[in-house]
Amino acid sequence: MVNQQINLIDQAVASIAVNLESMNLPASVDALMQPIGLPQRVIERAQRLRGEGGVNNIVAQVEGLKVANDDLHEIITEAEKILDEEKKQDVEMRHNFSSQWSRVPSDKLTENLRRELSTFRFIFLFSFFFFFLLV
């Protein structure tokens, strides 16, 4: 009689595990199979994180991202300044030499570069925002 009850309980636990698995709830299955303590997957991930340097490694990576982000911002800003200065010089030369200044206008020559810089600026702003969400 006791064995029958144990078998029924085992079957119920197995059925619950299958249902949870079908709902993509493996952590819940782990918790069910190991009701005391943390699920094994969480323990394994924590051990792996510790093995890779733990929190110090994460802090170092975040600092590295901050430096890279600052460098990217500086490069984008400098490139924009150079293009703006070139455009200013082009306008001045066009004004001073009128018909003698026959080269393609700066806006046309640098159109693709400015578009790419805008894309990089957007990526920078997005990564800057994302960085502060992490910190």
Q: Which residues contact 44 (CB under 8 A, 6 or more apart)?
A: none
- Count how many Cα atoms sit within 13 Å of the Cα of residue 56 in the half-sphere of its side chain: 4
Of 115, 118, 114, 123, which is closest to residue 83 (Cα–Cα)? 114
Domain ranges of the chain: 1-52, 55-135
- Count how many Cα atoms sit within 13 Å of the Cα of residue 15 in the half-sphere of its side chain: 6
How confident is the model over 105-134, as pLDDT tens digits? 998 999 999 999 999 888 878 776 776 666
The answer to whether the CB of 107 falls within 8 A of the CB of 63 is: no
How confident is the model over 59-96, as pLDDT tens digits? 888 788 788 888 888 998 999 999 999 999 999 999 99
